[in-house]
Amino acid sequence: MSPEAILSPREIEIATAYAQGDTYQAIAARLGIAPSTVRTHLATIYRKLEVSSKLDLHARLGGAPPDLEIQTDHAAVISELALSLEDSLRREQALAEVLRIISRSQGNIDAVMSAILGFALDLCEAEFGILFDHHGGGRFAASHTKGIPEPFQDWLDTYGVFTASPRTGLGRLAANPGVVNIFDVRAEEIFQSDDPLRYATAILGGARSFVAIPMIAGDTLAGAFTIYRKTVRPFNAQAMALAQTFADQSVIALDNARMISALRAKATSK
């Protein structure tokens, strides 16, 4: 049977986009669904078409017959293993690409942070992300954002440097630098209060699950690397480890940019 006879129109759309190289994030943004939903669809697509790689998927969509060696009883297991392997390869490629971008950035921190946040959102299956600079005393300001809803962006632009309440994720991180993983921002008591940051996060941003990773430079809290999901789907250990890696790379990129700026200033003063 042809793929069109096996898959739904939505599955055909997702399968075609993925086979052509689109990321979970790009597909999700175009279809208005969560990145995790894209992966769930792909697992079903792999099982239905009895394929075990993106190359096989591309071939099947192009009219190639299914691999007769794949046992139908094992199709679900094979599809999950195949996607897990592809996820691992995507992670390795993304991390290598980020390091390459940092090494060639020439101090262009905006481009570097945009790339880092983009890879983090894709690999952690999140909808938007924010890099907050810490100004001391629990005060933060959003310096870089990716995929953020416009009302939330407007709020951040209007407030500039703000003090995070001790009960917010950023406030907890400032008081005790460590990973803050909030399962549902609307389920916490602070959501029932008039805290402006929690209101902006949950209502203006539409966030539900949220993780904040401290960015440490030496012994100092330099900022927070935060990513958000618009559905209640807490970040697991693997996603948090990935976010920590991207937070660490963000610190490297910021230090690199500062050194380049200092060298340029020194050269100009001569």
- The DSSP call for residue 164 is P
**So what's the pLDDT on residue 164?**
95
Q: Distance between CA atoms of 29 and 228, rounded to whole angstroms?
A: 14
CA nearest neighbour of 103 among 242, 264, 259, 263: 259
Quick check: 22 pLDDT over 60?
A: yes
223-255 pLDDT, tens digit per residue, is 999 999 999 988 988 888 888 888 888 877 777
The size of the chain, in residues, is: 270
CA nearest neighbour of 72 among 157, 6, 18: 6
58-100 pLDDT, tens digit per residue, is 888 888 776 655 544 455 555 555 555 566 666 666 666 766 6
Q: What percent of the chain has pLDDT over 90?
A: 35
**So what's the pLDDT on residue 35?**
81
8 Å CB contact between 107 and 95? no
